[in-house]
Structure 1
Amino acid sequence: MTYSAVLRPRWTIKYVLSAITVSYFAICFLFDMPFFSSALPAYTGEYNVGTIDIEVPVEKRNISETVFKHGGKPAFELETVLFSLFYPAVKDARSQKPKHLWFPKPIALQAEGYARLAKINNFFTNSLFTLGLWTLAGSTSIPAAVDVPIHGTMKTYQNYETEHPVDDYGLPEYPLIVFSHGFASSRTDYSQYCGELASRGYVVAAIEHRDGSGPGSVIMRPDGSTTNRFLITAGELDPTPETPALKVMQLAFRQAEIEETVRVLRQINEGIGNEVFKTNARKEGKDLAEWQGRLNMERVVVGGHSYGATGAMQVLKGGHTYERPFVGAVILDPGKSSGPLNEDIRVPTLIIQSNSWSKAHSIFYGRPHFDVVKDIARKILDESHIFAWFVTSKGTTHPSVTDAPLIEPLLLMWTTGSTIQVREGIYQYVKATADFMLYLKDGHRRGILSEEVTHPEYDHDIRNDARKASMPKDIDKYWQIHVAPTTGCAYPGLCGVEHDHAARPPW
């Protein structure tokens, strides 16, 4: 081929496709973009965001006497707790460590987990799953800076004005959210939701559950030893449990992990962050000593999605305790197949369902799932005399709060039927959660929380033309409100009497 042929190529379909392919891979390589997927976007709040992985040992305890048939080892023995902290970070702090991968290494571990979930676990299929995951998102990283100082440390705090409460040194305290992931998920699946909240001034602890509901996770101990934990099926266990009994054990394990996460966070807040760092098998958290007094342990909220939402509701049973000091709950798509939902909830609660879950007529223990969730919200509101909301995020599907639609927007839109723009979907979840956190702070109802019921049943609009016209466009466009307190009422039990809707939450 002559030089002139190269400079003046024939514009065949083959040539054009080859040129596009080469250009695409070159751009991905030069700009460190993942192949065949979209990079996770930068966070949009006022704060830079840091992240720290913490895995520390706990006092060993068996949640159940159940063992694995192969090997006879305990199936639900809690050894360590692992969570990722997302937090407001010092502005423009440079990390000495690479960003966390969205698929933690080894990627083959999670690939095998998904193959087990699909019940096609063998060397060939595991290799195909590994190749597929690597191709789709193997190089995708979480945009938070790793192991950088928290915003407003003693080392960097100068003339800093904040709306947050402050400790004895005048440093801001950040409200805390403990977040639980769904079935077949991990702590990294919700990094955008958690990171966006961190960029708005909240600390989020995203737990990695080792209850056998995730595809794959490596248990790491301070002595360097490791154990791989995969998805657990009832057939692997002795005695073999029925499915409901297996879920009871998994949810009990999740509750123990949530309680241990709170314990570790208390230690960090009480000034022994260095000890946590020394025992952290993930070797991160070098500045945790600077976190003393930085977590507002009076404003701890529990949240979760799907199976994690069911678990978050469960830990609220029995009310406020030292181990479970939660003053609010953010419940996202409470599970349809993760066991009964706890109705004994005595804290302000925001329940958000995706459009796909509210729309579907699913029978849940003999009743429509939508009605079960709605009745729980009404019970909190009417019987406990505590504020509760139950809303639907229009245009969303079950995965919309996860990172998956951001990484593979076209694939997820095609397979799930989502109609909302993927970034907008995450933003709406974050905005509603942030409005709820601010309500817990000062009692003021903002955004969607300031509105009354619009749709007592899914897609049944009871508003007149005047109310439709007066409703803010972003609320009308993105939300249906099924349960909400009366706008002019501070306390649900006193509705009918004029009260300031900005009164403090009822505790």
Structure 2
Amino acid sequence: MSNGIEPKHLPKATGPFVPGMIDVSTDYGEEGLLMRLYYPTNEKKNDPKQWMTWLPENSYLRGLANVTAIPYYFLRSAIWWYENLTLTGHYYIPSLYGKKIRTDDKLKCIIISHGLGSCRFLYSAVCYDLASYGYLVICLEHKDRSACFTYYYATKEDAQKDKKTEIHFKHVPLGKNHYTERNQQIKIKANECSKAIDFVLQLNKGTAPANVLDEVVTKYTIDFDLKDLTGKIDVDSLTIMGHSFGAATAIYTAALRSEIKQCIAMDPWMFPIKDENLHEKVKQPILFVNTYTFHLEANVKSMAKFLTIDRKDEMYTILNSTHETQTDTVFILGYWLNWFMRKIDPTIGLRINNYIILEFLNRHTLFPKNVEEQKAYLDKEKHNYMSGLTKPWA
């Protein structure tokens, strides 16, 4: 980031506020939550000196290789490629790490659950874009072994030495126990989402836990303080959101917690909750934002149970998109699913996804107050998405 030249980065946020972000761990040991908070700041300039690399450490690269079952020699090549990329610069997240949060107005809050083999930063472009409109967005990194990699610090001394206790991704084989194991993971993930809801409620009341990660040495200047959020969160309008496995988790969590007022499911993988009859239990409105190639007939049938006149849930499909369209990887590695299909430009796909979400939130929470620009964009791109039940891919 020298000579005044911006490093390679994800698309910048489209909202009126410069976004910030901070990693938070609420306690020592495995029971503590590890999450990334994205939020608006009062900064006038999105200074690249305060940006963080998209990939915080190679352990996550190894984890992603484990998820995709890449052979070791391919993994070594991937790590070599990534390390040598530093000659021209890492990919960066255009969000100010550790800057003070804007609390001029009460913040609407969105809690996000990640998908299978993902982590807390894989949806950065979605999260900081929503934060730039004034949202506090909390992306969890789950410890049910569905994350590509995660960790915790067992003690204060471990944090000061940056000695991580690692948790690695677990492959669950297909077969008669597949549903049982995935359903058990959903319940662990939903419990962590529930703990995140409690974290927000207590934080708003003035009970701010110490951030374990404050003990870890960092090169960034940290002006962020959890205590600044006391009385500054709109706890009457909480949103739960997720992608894929995390979208199923969001729907499941909505059935458990009445504090959740609306649910956003991006490309939900319905298999782990197929026997839960959640269409009868979830009272909150659900927005489904789906991609074009992910949904097989069984998944569509599970989602169709929610699209009734009584429920009035909404569903949209981004055309010529794949499951990766709602993640950051499409900007960094390009499309790698459905190679021979014509793909939507990833920035257009991101904007459609985020603007559908913002329009939904405007209707249900009256925030953002004005979404005319987003509506105009969606009208211009109406040939790239459709409303109604997603069609099965195969």
TM-score by length of 1: 0.65
Task: Specify the SS of the correspondent of 1:329.
Answer: strand
Q: Which has the higher contact order (CA 8 A, sep 6+)?
A: 2
Give per-residue Cα distances to partners, 1:400-452, cap 9 Å, x unaligned.
1111122234x5488373522211111111111111111112499978999xx
Answering whether residue 47 of structure 2 is matched by residue 112 of structure 1, we say no
2:348 pairs with one of 420, 424, 429: 424
Provide the residue aligned with 1:438 in structure 2. 362
Query: Unaligned regions of 5+ residues in structure 2, if any?
Result: 390-394
8 A contact 1:33–1:140 mirrored in 2: yes
Query: Unaligned regions of 5+ residues in structure 1, if any?
Result: 1-26, 61-77, 153-170, 451-471, 484-507
Provide the residue aligned with 1:207 in structure 2. 140
Provide the residue aligned with 2:198 in structure 1. 263
8 A contact 1:147–1:285 mirrored in 2: yes
Q: Distance in 1 between matches of 2:282 and 2:364?
A: 16
1:83 pairs with one of 35, 39, 44: 35
Provide the residue aligned with 2:96 in structure 1. 145
Distance of aligned partners of 1:391 and 1:268 in 2 relative to their CA distance in 1, 3 Å threshold: same
8 A contact 1:102–1:142 mirrored in 2: yes
Provide the residue aligned with 1:346 in structure 2. 283
Answering whether residue 226 of structure 2 is matched by residue 252 of structure 1, we say no
8 A contact 2:145–2:168 mirrored in 1: yes
Provide the residue aligned with 1:375 in structure 2. 305
Shift of 1:146: 1.1
Q: How does 1:321-470 map to 2 (within 5 A)?
A: 325-335=259-269, 337-340=271-274, 342-343=278-279, 344-357=281-294, 362-364=296-298, 369-378=299-308, 381-382=309-310, 386-409=311-334, 411-412=335-336, 415=339, 417=341, 419-442=343-366
Task: Specify the SS of the correspondent of 2:306.
Answer: helix
Provide the residue aligned with 1:293 in structure 2. 231
Decide which moves more: 185-194 or 279-288: 279-288
Give per-residue Cα distances to partners, 1:277-297, cap 9 Å, x unaligned.
467556767422222111111
Shift of 1:480: 1.2
Count of aligned positions: 373
Superposition RMSD in Å: 3.5
Give per-residue Cα distances to partners, 1:38-64, cap 9 Å, x unaligned.
x21221110111101101127x7xxxx
Shift of 1:336: 5.3
8 A contact 2:252–2:273 mirrored in 1: no
Provide the residue aligned with 2:392 in structure 1. none
Decide which moves more: 264-273 or 278-287: 278-287
8 A contact 1:53–1:82 mirrored in 2: yes
Distance of aligned partners of 1:394 and 1:345 in 2 relative to their CA distance in 1, 3 Å threshold: same
Give per-residue Cα distances to partners, 1:272-317, cap 9 Å, x unaligned.
33x4346755676742222211111111000001111011111122
Answering whether residue 157 of structure 2 is matched by residue 219 of structure 1, we say no
Distance of aligned partners of 1:260 and 1:135 in 2 relative to their CA distance in 1, 3 Å threshold: farther
Task: Specify the SS of the correspondent of 2:122.
Answer: helix
- Say which one has the larger Rg: 1
Give per-residue Cα distances to partners, 1:366-387, cap 9 Å, x unaligned.
xxx2232122222xx42xxx43
8 A contact 2:27–2:212 mirrored in 1: no
Task: Specify the SS of the correspondent of 1:315.
Answer: helix
Identity %: 19
Decide which moves more: 244-253 or 184-193: 244-253
